[in-house]
Structure 1
């Protein structure tokens, strides 16, 4: 394509889309965002098909939900494929710690692509109240660890004013 035809094509496109369209296409912020998106997409798998360490470490594992009412607090901790025997739960004041190990289900097979987490993990969860370990209940069901406690609602006495 010679330069004159390219110039004509650019003029036609400019008239059709408006001048701002082409300015925005070549805008540096747009280009930076595009390049970042491309790099993020490449992080999902390396040339060998293995998930990259950077991508794995950027995820928070395990995922949690914190539910609360005036009477109780429940922490739901997602632990797909993790066995109860490979879990440890600790409490220090209002800091709940979950640690454990997620092992491959088929260790004799090579992982050619993975979005799941494998290995040792530890996560600290700040509870809304300071509780003692004997107040906590923990149940493991269908790959979800439910940690809960009843809140002690203290009714204050009315103090007479003289």
Structure 2
């Protein structure tokens, strides 16, 4: 790149933005940008609702050991009656509505997600709906099931 052209571009950019040109370039919220880069992205085939800055809602954890799988779904401020849970093959479907608190106030700043949400989570196993237990406790939906026994079906070799 030609250094003279780069200097011309920098002079033009600074004249358009005033003396605060470099300050506006480097005073961006880099911490938020870095947090977004570190955040684990959803796996293929996973649908989700997105809030501001591409945040995934509702956030989940999938935990497992040799016997059980537990899915924790964080949905603060949502009533149990406003949540729908379903199973489609090996995908857990979560649907609901997160209502805004204090609707008579103007929003000055908000990081919370409000509105309808829907998320499909691919489960590690294919199970039947009657094998799933779900509890709602303190804004956390706890979905669990026992892992199906793994066995290998023998195949005759001729």
Q: Does 1:94 align with 2:84?
A: no
Instruction: Check if 1:121 corresponds to 2:111.
Output: no
Larger Rg: 1
Aligned pair count reads 117
CA distance in 2, matches of 1:55, 1:117: 5
Q: Which residue of 2 aligns with 1:80?
A: 76
Equivalence for 1:67: 63
Aligned to 2:28: 38
CA contact (8 A) 2:51 2:113 kept: no
> How far, CA to CA, are the matches of 1:122 and 1:77 in structure 2?
12
- Which of 115, 120, 129 is residue 133 of structure 1 equivalent to? 129
Structure 2 unaligned spans of 5+ = 1-9, 11-23, 34-49
Residues of 2 paired with 1:90 and 1:37: CA distance?
Answer: 45
Q: TM-score w.r.t. structure 2 length? A: 0.64
- Give CA-to-partner distance per residue, 1:35-58, whole Å, 9 cap, x none: 4973878x9xxxxxxxxxx97151
Give the structure 1 partner of residue 143 of structure 2.
147
What is the CA–CA distance in structure 2 between the aligned matches of 1:55 and 1:121, rounded to whole Å?
10
Whether the 8 Å contact between 2:51 and 2:112 is mirrored in structure 1 is no
Tell me the TM-score normalized by structure 1.
0.62
Deviant stretches of 4+, over 3 Å: 34-37, 154-158
- The Cα offsets for residues 53-83 of structure 1, whole Å up to 9 and x where unpaired, read as x971511000100000110000000001111
CA separation of 1:110 and 1:69: change in aligned 2, threshold 3 A: same
Query: Aligned with 1:85: secondary structure?
Result: helix
